[in-house]
Amino acid sequence: MQCEVKNKERAGVINPILTCQPCGAQYASIGIKECIGIVHGGQGCVMFVRLLFSQHFKESFELASSSLHEDGAVFGATHRVEEAVDVLLMRYPHVKVIPIISTCSTEVIGDDIDGVVLKLNNGLLKEKYAGREVHLIPIHSPSFKGSMVSGYDVAVKDIVSHFAKKDKPNGKINLFTGWVNPGDVTAIKHLLSEMQVDATVLFEIESFDSPLMPDGNSVSYGNTTIEDLTETADALGTIALNRYEGGQAAQYLENEFDIPTIIGPTPIGIRNTDIFLQNVKKMTGKPIPASLVRERGIALDALTDLTHMFFADKKVAIYGNADLVIGLAEFCLDLEMKPVLLLLGDDNTSYPDDPRIKALQANVSFQMEVIMNADLWELENRIKNEGLELDLILGHSKGRFISIDYNIPMVRVGFPTYDRAGLHRHPVVGYAGATWLGEEMANTLFTDMEYKKNKEWVLNVW
């Protein structure tokens, strides 16, 4: 009985858990103010990613395409990037940042987006847009490498390294949230504000939950400014909540500007949030205030009502982005549950070296599988053909039919969660996230007990 870490054995993908790199780069792009990314490739690479974002957030985000057509695919299409930059700058006078995001097609044909940026910087921008601040940032995110997770990581790093410039120390900490929801950003900002820590939250997407206002505003965008990005080099430290989503940028700042850096742990659950606060305390010297002790107490109080009564020994399968999956698994263990199957949706070869995975291998005493490069068939096949019995699934909406077809209760978590209302508004991180996750899991199990008439009478008194 132990934790086994292995790769999916099949070559192909049946029902993918993650999409490709350009999506991640686009997610980073929409986190910046006065920024519209141009995706250099076919139009679908943008249209469907915009649709995906709108499915999840119920909002529209601006992203442009170089609209690669047949002639470009044959003869090269860098001129399409030049035209796209010009058209975008002419029509969007507020835009200052344009990530140029490559895709599989334009990487295969070998279009030199770095060269185009150089050419535009020395040509078009000087001639036609003199006096206007414009940053063109090439981002190599071919779809045949990594996943949306690494695409986000690469883009965050490339954008930070473009801007970061040492000036005077600003006394702030850099905080890379990773691929989170607006509710998570609110929760993290709340923790930092309780600790009276001045932080620059990077690729800050709290505003993705945008209101319907009497004056009518049409698009949603993130809140990270050029100034925020530039000043990353002046921070007193960097915390990246996630190892694989923003970790590279944090590492870059440490290597380049000697900024003390802490990467992880993803603050999901009480224990990881404790560690996060401890890290913030160490970095800033600010104490953890009584208000957070109380808040933590409320979360513990809520979870104590649920653990051995309802959660103990419940078998859980978790899939999605690696940081999220690992964080959730750790939380489930604290809640007395058994996360028996973890599906990491991409082929990052460093996963086996992740100390969190090593800790699972060293300490888990029940049969647990961690599948790397996994797809959703790894989950469904085990249920359908190999007798895997589960009490709960944690994952995003693309796996919804497994829950539906095999009658297994499921809590939607991660990205995307389009088949439930407003989940982007709720945090999974921090004490608030721990409470919400715990109670959401419990209520999902309760509904299932009632629906299946499985000891539903237990709930009369507890």
Please state the closest distance from residue 179 (CB atom) to another protein, in A.
Answer: 15
Longest dimension (CA), the chain: 76
User: Minimum distance between the CB of residue 18 and another protein, rounded to whole angstroms?
Assistant: 7
Which CB sits closer to another protein, 415 or 436? 415
Residue among 83 and 274 whose Cβ is closer to another protein: 83
CB nearer to another protein: pick between 231 and 378: 378
Least distance to another protein from the beta carbon of 320, Å?
13
Contact 54, 89 (CB under 8 A): no
Q: Is 202 helix (H, G, I), strand (E, B) or coil?
A: strand
For another protein, which is the closer residue by CB, 356 or 424? 424
At 256 the three-state DSSP class reads helix
Estimate to the nearest angstrom the gap between the alpha carbon of 149 and the chain centroid. 7
Question: Both tokens of residue 139?
Answer: 């981002």
CB of residue 182 to another protein, shortest distance in Å: 15
Query: Rounded to the nearest whole angstrom, what is the least distance from the CB of residue 147 to another protein in the complex?
Result: 7
Cβ–Cβ < 8 Å for 375, 403: no
Closest CB to another protein among residues 362, 404: 404
Stated as kind and residue range, the H or E segment containing 393 is strand 392-395
CB-nearer residue toward another protein: 147 or 444? 147
Alpha-carbon distance of 326 to 356, in angstroms, equals 7
Q: What's the closest the beta carbon of residue 160 comes to another protein, in angstroms?
A: 24
Query: CA-CA distance, 244 to 117, in Å (whole number)?
Result: 27
Q: What token pair was written down for 440?
A: 């959401």
The residue to which tokens 């509904």 are assigned: 447
CA-wise closest residue to 429 among 284, 301, 286, 241: 241
Residue tagged 């800033």 (tokens):
284
